[in-house]
Structure formats: C-alpha cells, structure tokens
Amino acid sequence: MQIQPSLAEQDRYSSDYLAEFDDVSQQYSRNRVLEFWGYHDSYGPAKDYSDTIRLRYYQPIHYDDWKGTLRLDTTATIFPNNSSLYSGRQIQPGSSMITAWGNHPNFLANWGGNIGGRIIFPFGNGSQWAIGPQFGMSFKPERGTETILADFSPLVRYMYGFYQTQKALANSGITPTRELQLYPTIGIKLGASTQIRFWDENGIYYNTAQGTWFVPIDAMVTHRLNKNLLVAIGASKQLVQTYSQYDWVAYGKVSVSF
C-alpha cells in the first residue's frame, strides 16, 4: 500500500523546487562601490577586436524620504593596429554616462519597484547624446537558504539618441539610437559566496525604429572574497543579431565596497 504524504510534507517537498518571492526593490546598499572593468570585444563583418577599460562608481543617495543609487561610468577603448577602423593603434575615450534610480515611500512604493533614468554623454568617436527612463524590480526567495535561486531582477530601459544640431547628425553618419533595453537578470547560487548571473551586464536590445533585435546569451560568475571585495568574469555571445551590436564579448571586474 502506498502512503500519501501529509499536506505539511507536500508543502515542504514543493518548497524545495518552487520559491515564493519577496519584493526587495526598495532595499538599497548604503555602501559606496568602485568597480574596475575590462572587456575584449569582437564585432562587425571584418571581425574587428577592441579592448575597453571601464571605471564604474555607485553612490547611495538619500534625500528626504527618497532612497536610491547614483551610478557613474566612464570608458576608454583601445583599437589594435590591424583594425579596419583606424590605420594604426588607437586609444579613444568612450561614452560616459550617469544612471540614477530609487524609490519614494509616498509615491514610487505603489509601483512595487524603482524608477530612474540614464544620460549618455557624447565622448569618443561617433558617439551621440542619449537619454532615457528605466524601471526595475528585484525579487528574492522568501526561504533563501533553501533554494539555488539568488534573485530575479528584471529591468527595462528606453534610450533615445540625438545630436545637438542637424549638421552634426549629418556629419556623423550614424543613425540616432532608438533602443529598448531588456535585462531579465537571474542570479543562481553556486556556493555560499559564488553566483552565476545571467543578463546582468549585457541585455537584450530592440531597435524600435527598424524593428530589429539583438539577443545574446550573457553569463557572469561572481565570487565574493570578503565583505569588501568581489571579483567576476563573464562572457556574452550573440544569438539573434538583426540589430548589429557585437559578435562576442569576454569581460571581468574587480569590485571594492567601502
């Protein structure tokens, strides 16, 4: 005779595989974080390569009841001697950007997430001004120690690019950005201090002007050495590229919190 498990046992068994989520969108780190990134990119029909150094800084912001984060990014890109873009080795300043997001208990809390925006400054060759809003949420399992899922943190952003004058637009030869960015970020625990994170650094892009897609598989392994130091290594490879971005990217970072 087969004995059926009790309702309590059924609940326990199901909780091993299914997680109920807490909305933790309003939780913000009060630490400042400085990150040093390096990227190696392959892109274009000529299979060009470039190396990029990025400096990224997170600053907690707290004004009245508003709590959130301010993020600053700046980059420099190195093009090799055999690049089809330049006749010799070149080091070019890349685009710099400011991103801010947060939540206010008397307004944004009803959204269940956080709202913000990004501004990209036109430094570097062929870059343009771009601005756009974003909305994100973050969920963690209620019984976090009993599931391998660390978090699910989706984010959507729309970037609108433009030039200061029509003459600058005509001289650039580059189509202004009209880009929907989707980050279905998922964190999976590999150990007490180690995760693999999908679509955290590189997301899915949709060109709303042309109706074309860029869909990569992006994965990054992170390991926290101590409470102040984290290292990570990752890679991204295009799967669908009707909207051209890159062929593949390998990257890594060192993150210091203080």
Is the Cα torsion angle 143, 147, 150, 156 positive or negative in sign? negative
Measured CA to CA, the distance from residue 157 to residue 154 in angstroms comes to 10
- The tens place of each residue's pLDDT in the chain, 258 residues long, gives 444 445 444 444 444 444 588 999 988 888 999 999 999 999 877 778 889 999 999 999 988 888 999 999 999 988 877 666 666 678 888 889 999 999 988 877 778 899 999 999 987 655 788 999 999 999 999 876 678 999 999 999 999 998 765 555 555 567 889 999 999 999 999 999 999 999 999 999 999 999 999 999 999 999 999 999 999 999 999 999 999 999 999 999 999 999
Q: May I ask the CATH architecture of the domain 25-257? A: Beta Barrel (2.40)
- Given this model, what pLDDT does residue 125 score? 57
- Given this model, what pLDDT does residue 242 score? 95
Measured CA to CA, the distance from residue 153 to residue 250 in angstroms comes to 22
Measured CA to CA, the distance from residue 187 to residue 204 in angstroms comes to 17
pTM, full prediction? 0.87
Is the Cα torsion angle 74, 204, 250, 176 positive or negative in sign? negative
- Given this model, what pLDDT does residue 124 score? 65
- Given this model, what pLDDT does residue 248 score? 96
Is 249 exposed, middle or buried (CB count within 10 Å of its CB: 0-12, 13-18, 19+)? buried
- Sequence-distant (≥ 6) Cβ neighbours of residue 7 within 8 angstroms: none
Name the DSSP letter for residue 168. H
Measured CA to CA, the distance from residue 25 to residue 135 in angstroms comes to 11
Query: Both tokens of residue 136?
Result: 């994100």
HSE-CB for 11 with a 13 A CA cutoff: 5
